[in-house]
Amino acid sequence: MRAFLSRAWCLRLAGAGLVLALTAGAAQADFPTKPVRIVVPFAPGGGTDLIARTLGQEMAKDLGQPVIIDNKPGAGTIIGTDAVAKAAPDGYSLVMASFAHAVNPSLQSKLPFDNAKAFAPVMLVGRGPNVLVVRPASPLKTVQDVLAAARANPGKLTYASQGAGTSAHLAGEMFDNLAKVKTLHVPYRGAGPAMTDLMGGQVEMFFGTAAAVAPFVDRGQLRAIAVTSAEPSAAFKGIPTIGASIPGYAVESWYGLYAPAGTPKDVISRLNAAARKAARSPEFARKVEAEGLAIGAGEPAELDTYVRAEEARWARIVKENGIKAD
């Protein structure tokens, strides 16, 4: 009798397990059944915010559910990124990562998450240059002007960034190290607040992402001096590279979509398909072409490979130059 009950109980458990597995499979097959959230670890108004909102609008058309942008700025992107690292791995919480995601492991002494273990790559959205910009009335018109001003007043020439560890911050640090000058870094909680203070005269320069500064340059509210990429950017015709004045200088921005680790593979595939379709849409291309963004829109492995290489590259640069978070 006891053996019979044991077998009966095992069969019941096996049946329950099968039902749960089938239910989970059906839930994943129906994904998504509610809005998807993309966390932007910056304040509204910057390049990452623009890319996330534009991509999200297009993804929503394919997913059949709203894609909500959730701005969580602070701590050099760590606050917003950590929120997704700790979110349920169900595909409903994503983070639009950028340059700081690859640099923070070597720049920050302690992170609340491990990049290699906390996230599952979804898609590399694209890559693009940063742009050194100033106010239209600024006396700084060339990289040589900036170098002269920095040498004349060490530690006085200010540049804004969208946060410690971001591309704007490291672009300034690399500028100082390679040119053997000293400028003053002023971090903000996003590119929007940084540009507001730049235009208001509270800071003198900004190594902003192309996506963030391009509209302001086009409207004449900011003036571009140089691009940070190794080669000139087609989106900023006639604007030289910083590397033309400072040999070896090159910094690149990027945008990548991540989900929490443990997110089911079929959900990742669904999100990747929607993101790829969105990034290749005419509407997305129209909104980002002025920023010189080279669209990725590949498989998840593309993002993983690219970011691992960036982490290794910047770990070496941070160590060799003694760069520290403010």
Q: How far apart (Å, rounded) are the C-alpha atoms in residues 113 and 99?
A: 17
pLDDT at 10: 47
Q: Which long-range contacts (CB under 8 A, 24 or more apart) does 80-86 make?
A: 80/39, 80/40, 80/41, 80/42, 81/39, 81/41, 81/113, 82/112, 82/113, 83/39, 84/39, 84/119, 84/258, 84/259, 84/260, 85/112, 85/113, 85/118, 85/119, 85/260, 85/261, 86/113, 86/260
Alpha carbon of residue 97 to chain centroid: 4
pLDDT at 109: 80
% of the chain at pLDDT higher than 90? 73
Q: Annotate 272-324 with DSSP letters as a single string.
A: HHHHHHHHTSHHHHHHHGGGT-EE----HHHHHHHHHHHHHHHHHHHHHHT--
pTM of the model: 0.82
Tens of pLDDT, residue by residue over 38-78, are 999 999 988 899 999 999 999 999 999 999 999 999 988 99
Phi, psi of 18 (to 5 degrees): -65, -40
Pair type for strands 36-40 and 93-98? parallel
pLDDT at position 19 over 60:
no
- The model's confidence at residue 29, banded by pLDDT at 50, 70 and 90, is low
Tens of pLDDT, residue by residue over 195-254, are 999 999 999 999 998 888 988 999 999 999 999 999 999 889 999 999 999 999 999 899
pLDDT at position 300 over 60:
yes
- The structural domains of the chain, ordered by start, are 35-126+254-321 (3.40.190.150), 129-244 (3.40.190.10)
pLDDT at 316: 87
Mean pLDDT of the chain: 89
Query: What mean pLDDT do residues 164-187 have?
Result: 93
pLDDT at 7: 52
pLDDT at position 87 over 60:
yes
- The model's confidence at residue 290, banded by pLDDT at 50, 70 and 90, is low
Q: How far apart (Å, rounded) are the C-alpha atoms in residues 278 and 75?
A: 30
What would the two tokens of residue 271 be?
């999100």
Residue 26 near residue 18 (C-beta atoms within 8 A):
no
